[in-house]
């Protein structure tokens, strides 16, 4: 994905930190926390953690990233692409994507019955992944 073009479109300056962060998030392809991003990017070049937090905030405000919380007391970030959700293993912590949640029907019902206008929703599943079920944890 061409992040230079993307940042340009949003009138955001092209910097090593921004490009590298976006490339890392794209490569890992799952919701990452700030600590992972800080540790990984610091190995590649000189960056301060404050810079990472500021980048995460701007990119989220511009809708380039999506901020998620899985009850861990910290946020995670992923590329804000199509509507999708997550399968979060409570044993090993692995996170898998799923799509096609088909919540539109529910949202329509909410609009009619509650007169609440849904802008976005979060839907996360917690349980045991295939492997952890075998380990009977």
Partner DNA sequence: TTAGGTGCAAATGATTTGCAATAAT
Partner DNA sequence: ATTATTGCAAATCATTTGCACCTAA
Is there binding between residue 66 and DNA (CB under 7 A)? no
22 binds, among DNA, its own copies, none (CB under 5 to 8 A by kind): none
> 31 — phi, psi (to 5°)?
-65, 125
> Binding to DNA by residue 32, rule CB under 7 A?
no
Q: How far is CA 94 from CA 24, 69, 97, 108, 125, in A?
A: 18, 14, 10, 32, 12
Closest C-alpha to 34, from 54, 20, 19, 15: 54
Told to check if 129 binds its own copies by CB under 8 A, we report yes
Neighbours of 75 (CB within 10 A): 16
Q: Give the footprint of its own copies on residues 57-116 (CB under 8 A).
A: 67-71, 73, 75, 87, 89-90, 96, 98, 101-103, 106-107, 110, 114-116
Cβ nearer to DNA, comparing 56 with 89: 56
**Binding at 130: pick from DNA, its own copies, none (beta carbon under 5-8 Å per type):** its own copies
Can you tell me whether residue 20 is helix, strand or coil? Answer: helix
In the list its own copies, DNA, none, the entry touching 98 (Cβ below 5 to 8 angstroms by class) is its own copies
Residue 97: enclosing H or E segment and its boundaries?
strand 95-98
> Which of DNA, its own copies, none does residue 129 bind (CB under 5 to 8 Å by kind)?
its own copies
Q: Which residues bind DNA (CB under 7 A)?
A: 8, 12-18, 33-35, 46-51, 53-58, 73-75
């Amino acid at each position: 994905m061409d992040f230079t073009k993307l940042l340009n479109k949003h009138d955001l300056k092209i910097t090593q930190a921004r490009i590298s962060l976006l490339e890392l998030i794209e490569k890992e392809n799952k919701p990452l926390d700030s600590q992972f991003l800080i540790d990984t990017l610091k190995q590649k070049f000189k960056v301060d953690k404050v810079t990472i937090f500021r980048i995460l905030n701007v990119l989220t405000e511009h809708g380039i990233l999506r901020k998620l919380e899985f009850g861990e007391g910290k946020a995670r970030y992923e590329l804000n692409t199509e509507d999708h959700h997550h399968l979060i293993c409570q044993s090993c912590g692995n996170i898998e994507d799923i799509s096609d949640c088909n919540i539109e029907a529910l949202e329509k019902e909410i609009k009619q019955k509650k007169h609440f206008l849904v802008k976005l929703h979060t839907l996360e599943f917690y349980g045991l992944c295939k492997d952890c079920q075998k380990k009977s944890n």
